Amino acid sequence: MGERLALNILARCSGVASRARRLRTLADSVGFTGAIAGTRKTTPGFRLVEKYGMEVGGADTHRMDLSTMVMLKDNHIWATGSITSAVKSARSVAGFSVKIEVECQSEKDAYEAIDAGADIVMLDNFTPDALRLAASNVKAKCLASRNSVLVEVSGGITEDTAPQYMLPGVDIISFGTMTQSVPHVDFSLKIAHESSGNVAC
């Protein structure tokens, strides 16, 4: 009764793990030492399986759920009026023990997030050429202010384009494609029949 369910779970988890392994291997091959991470774009009800697949494949799971890190996206920033006010509001609720990440559309946004006290800045939807300069500049600002802010890049990055984003100054590359549109690994389960007529699995 559980055969098809088990195979479907195995196929899905293995597809995620395989993509995670390919991305980590690709990063290693070009000397990128930063984190290769998934995102929270997981299948409803299947998060633990897909996050486990990421770990098995050698990728970071990023946030496990909404309680493990505060992610301030454009809607949060617009609702509070600025990056600075959004970070301040989040910090007042999250306390010192929860990291705050800010989605940034420009270098200017990243500088404001750093000054406001963000732990991670996400350079979102940057082209590789724009990212090369932005990541370098943001890291330089962090060093100048003795701030240990991490730089994450995300937004439409695929296996084919990933090497263009594996740049100095980038600490984390996150992939929604690690779980979205991932091909399953095709497994089958067969019952072996012994010549004596006994059945062995």
Cα atoms in the 13 Å half-sphere on the side-chain side of 109 = 22
Residue 147, pLDDT > 80, answer no
Token pair for 144 = 């100048």
Tell me the pLDDT band of 20, cut-offs 50, 70 and 90: very high
Q: What is the pLDDT of residue 200?
A: 58
Q: How far apart are CA 52 and CA 13, in angstroms?
A: 7
Give per-residue pLDDT as tens, 70-90. Answer: 999 999 999 999 999 999 999
Residue 94, pLDDT > 60, answer yes
Distance of CA 27 to the CA centre of its chain: 14
Q: How far apart are CA 66 and CA 166, in angstroms?
A: 27
- Residues of the chain with pLDDT > 90, as a percent, come to 70
Q: Is 121 helix (H, G, I), strand (E, B) or coil?
A: strand
Q: What is the pLDDT of residue 142?
A: 80
Choose among 175, 143, 146: nearest CA to 34: 175
Enumerate residues 6+ apart whose C-beta is below 8 A from 90.
Answer: 70, 72, 76, 100
For residues 20-43, give the mean pLDDT: 94
Domain coverage including residue 27: 3-200
Q: What is the pLDDT of residue 53?
A: 96
Residue 60 contacts residue 38 (beta carbons within 8 Å): yes
Query: Largest Cα–Cα distance in the chain?
Result: 77
Residue 41: active-site member: yes
Task: Characterise 89 by phi-psi region: left (phi > 0), alpha (psi -120 to 50), beta (else).
Answer: alpha
In 84-159, which ranges are E strands? 100-104, 120-124, 150-154
Residue 201, pLDDT > 60, answer no
Question: Could you tell me the CATH number of the domain that includes residue 36?
Answer: 3.20.20.70
Tell me the pLDDT band of 150, cut-offs 50, 70 and 90: very high
The total of structural domains in the chain comes to 1
Q: How far apart are CA 53 and CA 49, in angstroms?
A: 6
For residues 112-128, give the mean pLDDT: 94
- Residues of the chain with pLDDT > 70, as a percent, come to 96
Q: What count of other Cβ atoms lies within 10 Å of the Cβ of residue 162?
A: 19
Q: How far apart are CA 109 and CA 95, in angstroms?
A: 23
Token pair for 4 = 């098809």
Residue 198, pLDDT > 80, answer no
For residues 165-170, give the mean pLDDT: 93
